[in-house]
Chain A
Amino acid sequence: MVPRPFKVKEIIRESHDTVTLDLQPEKPEKEPGFAPGQFNMLYTFGVGEVPISISGSSSGADSYLHTIRDVGKVTHALASLKRGQKVGLRGPFGNAWPIEQAKSRDVVIMAGGIGLAPLRPALYALLSQRDQYGNISLLYGSRTREDLLFHHEFETWKGKYGVQVKVSVDTADRDWKGNVGVVTTLIHRVSFDPSNCIAMICGPEIMMRFSAMELVQAGLEEDKIYMTMERNMKCAVGFCGHCQFGPAFICKDGPVFSYDRIKPFISTREI
């Protein structure tokens, strides 16, 4: 329940409102390691604490990367931190993307906006054992091209690892040559075998719901589709009750859920 002291080791500006912080433990003894999909609770002095997913590689790192979109009080304080400043960190919490289950299958990753951050560790994990997986696709939707995260890595993912990377924006300027529109339209532009495929989705709830419906249309079974849920979260250890989503606590049963499990709830308003 008590935050551990971490220092900001590096700051990477990702876009006009998003930064990645590299957070290093002050006492670098025994970091527990983490699995792709897990998150930490980050505390800035006197301001507050929020859940933020880990966005870096899960293998061998001695620090945590966190990609934070400045949307409010605490995220603004986090995004304004300077190198060397201290933050409190609790975690890692939560479950993981189905990296093992995806072995010898095609993988479709769908992200909306900041939703690519929690999926990047999953992609890294897949690519670190590239030969174990079939076709890998990344379908990424963003508001504008300025909001695209990690775009400098797209070429490596495409060229070196043969990932089918497709990007779409909601609003495009004249120079934009790519797709415009909702991310679901990209599903038909990549090849995967729906009978032997795992999908991982992270983005706004509405985007995940439509993406899952579209993937089912395309032939995926509901239990092969995974997504992360977001709710208010105070404790991250199952005590505060805030992150309940139907029968689940997002902090300890999630944040990753299979679609078949949460379908009745994700399609109910205000649950």
Chain B
Amino acid sequence: MNKPGVIDREGLNRLIQTLIGRGYQVVGPTVRDEAIVYDNVFSIEDLPAGWTDEQEGGTYRLKKRSDDALFGYTLGPHSWKRFLHPPERRLWQAQKDSLDFDIVPEQPDNTKYAFLGMRSCELHAIAIQDKVFIQSPHTDLHYQSLRQNALFVAVNCGQAGNTCFCVSMQTGPKVEAGYDLVLTEILDDSHHSFLIEAGSEAGKNILEEVKAGPAGAGEIKKAEEIVTNTAKQMGRAMETGNIKELLYENLEHPAWGEIAERCLSCANCTMVCPTCFCSTVEDVTDVAGDHAERWQKWDSCFTMDFSSIHGGAVRNSTQSRYRQWMTHKLASWQDQFDTSGCVGCGRCITWCPVGIDLTREVAVIRESTTCQEENFSGSEAQNENS
């Protein structure tokens, strides 16, 4: 969009102050409870200087780096969906008098968020949720309001985690679209600087206020190398060719039963996934019974209630729930939204308490050629009319 500039740590601080000055609530990475989580950021002091993370199936550990990198980690358990599509929010309230009641809708949230330190896969995840909540027959006005107000300051990943596979999903590691500003953190013995580029008019406008110095050819080349290098470090890979057909044709594969022996149906994977969007509603009343509220809350296809209809849950077994989740992510999402539902961030692998790894499970199904026969139980045929 315009020429890249260079800022140092102070420049980054100026960027944060500029955003705050323009009325943004700046949210970025901070260390809390032994993890890097997204929270309010007021200066670079809040950023996780010198921290990195080690990730594997079922494990996440913070570790000190030998340098002071501010973005030297990969991804924590949070994703930006907790701000744009919050874990719970009130949809409306109702007040009752005698036979009547009146419903008062909640006004859309007008908060102006500036997200700092977004990774390429995370921008892709938001583009995917946009398809669910905005580019669909109905619009979620709350999401739309937050989304339109938000400013995205991305970072090119300087290293990949052990559970990352964005290269397979073509969602990273280089930030290519959907950002207002993008940084590349450049660290060597004597320098700590950030290449900064604008990707939108809003970003350009802010960059002018931050007053970045001009980037030299050396810095541009260095930044390019950093992200190229990251692409070579992917801890995981997933073969995506014909993945939709593969999963649809293997709905009765024995692998699902095998996974179910390990899966705890705890729903962690759906909570940490940046694209999982399912929610439920809860209707609550006060003690007197005159005031009712409806709340929307994140929900998961791993819960029993999720599929319950009169007469019981449709998906009783863990096997059917894991199948629903993975088939949705990788197959039916394509039919529904014309994109994969997975951006390869690896969170579901890291945060699964038993380390279930969807890249491996896909490979297991792919490598096998067995297709189980459909298996109806005869008892079902009774009571056809009821």
Interface residues of A (CB under 8 A from B): 1-3, 5, 45-49, 71-72, 75, 84-86, 88, 112-113, 141-143, 168-170, 182-184, 203-204, 206-207, 210, 230-232, 234-235, 237-242, 244, 246-249, 252, 264, 267-271
Contacts and interface: CB of A to CB of B under 8 A. Distances in A.
A239 B336 CA distance: 12
Contacts of A45: 94, 96, 101, 292
B374 interface: yes
B307 A232 contact: yes
A206 B137 contact: no
A182 B94 CA distance: 45
B138 interface: yes
B320 A271 contact: yes
B281 A235 contact: yes
Contact of A232 (B100, B308, B317, B331): B308
A114 B375 CA distance: 28
Contact of B307 (A3, A72, A84, A242): A242
A203 B385 contact: yes
Given A234-B280, A241-B299, A206 B317 contact: no
Given A184-B384, A234-B281, A270-B320, A239 B292 contact: no
Give the top 10 A-B pairs by smallest Cβ distance, nearest first. A241-B278, A270-B320, A247-B335, A141-B385, A237-B138, A46-B285, A182-B384, A2-B105, A247-B332, A46-B292
Contacts of B384: 112, 141, 170, 182-184, 203-204, 206-207, 210
23 contacts: A45-B96, A46-B283, A46-B289, A46-B292, A47-B283, A86-B100, A112-B386, A183-B384, A204-B385, A206-B384, A207-B385, A231-B307, A239-B132, A240-B299, A241-B277, A241-B301, A246-B248, A248-B336, A252-B137, A252-B138, A267-B374, A270-B314, A271-B315
Nearest to B142: A1
Interface of B: 91-92, 94, 96, 99-103, 105, 132-133, 136-138, 140-141, 248, 251-252, 277-281, 283, 285, 289, 292, 294, 299, 301, 305-311, 314-317, 319-320, 324, 328, 331-332, 335-336, 374-377, 380-381, 383-386
Given A231-B307, A247-B335, A270-B320, A183 B385 contact: yes
B21 to A, nearest CB: 35
A169 B383 CA distance: 11
A45 B193 CA distance: 58
Contacts of B317: 270
Contacts of B281: 49, 234-235, 240
Contacts of B386: 112-113, 143, 170, 204
Given A1-B105, A207-B385, A242-B280, 7 more contacts: A1-B92, A1-B141, A2-B91, A141-B385, A170-B383, A203-B384, A239-B279
B283 A2 contact: no
Contacts of A2: 91-92, 103, 105
Nearest to A1: B91
A126 to B, nearest CB: 23
B316 A238 contact: no
Contact of A240 (B101, B278, B292): B278
Contacts of A75: 310
Output the residue of A84, A143, A204, A271 with the most chain B CB within 10 A: A271
Q: Which of A5, A244, A264, A267 has the most CB of B within 10 A?
A: A244
B336 A247 contact: yes
A88 B103 contact: yes
Query: B102, B278, B377 — which one has the most chain A CB atoms within 10 A of its CB?
Result: B278
B248 A113 contact: no
Contacts of B280: 234, 240, 242
A46 B377 CA distance: 40
Contacts of A88: 94, 101, 103
Given A170-B386, A231-B307, A5 B103 contact: yes
Nearest to A230: B309
B151 to A, nearest CB: 24
A207 B383 CA distance: 8
Contacts of A168: 385
B336 A271 contact: no
Contacts of B101: 45, 86, 88
A270 B316 contact: yes
Contacts of B328: 244
Contacts of A234: 279-281
Contact of B381 (A3, A46, A210, A231): A210
Contacts of A84: 99
A248 to B, nearest CB: 8
A246 B306 CA distance: 15
Contacts of B103: 2-3, 5, 88
A232 B94 CA distance: 24
Contacts of B289: 46
A233 B381 CA distance: 26
A217 to B, nearest CB: 16
A269 B376 contact: yes
A202 to B, nearest CB: 12
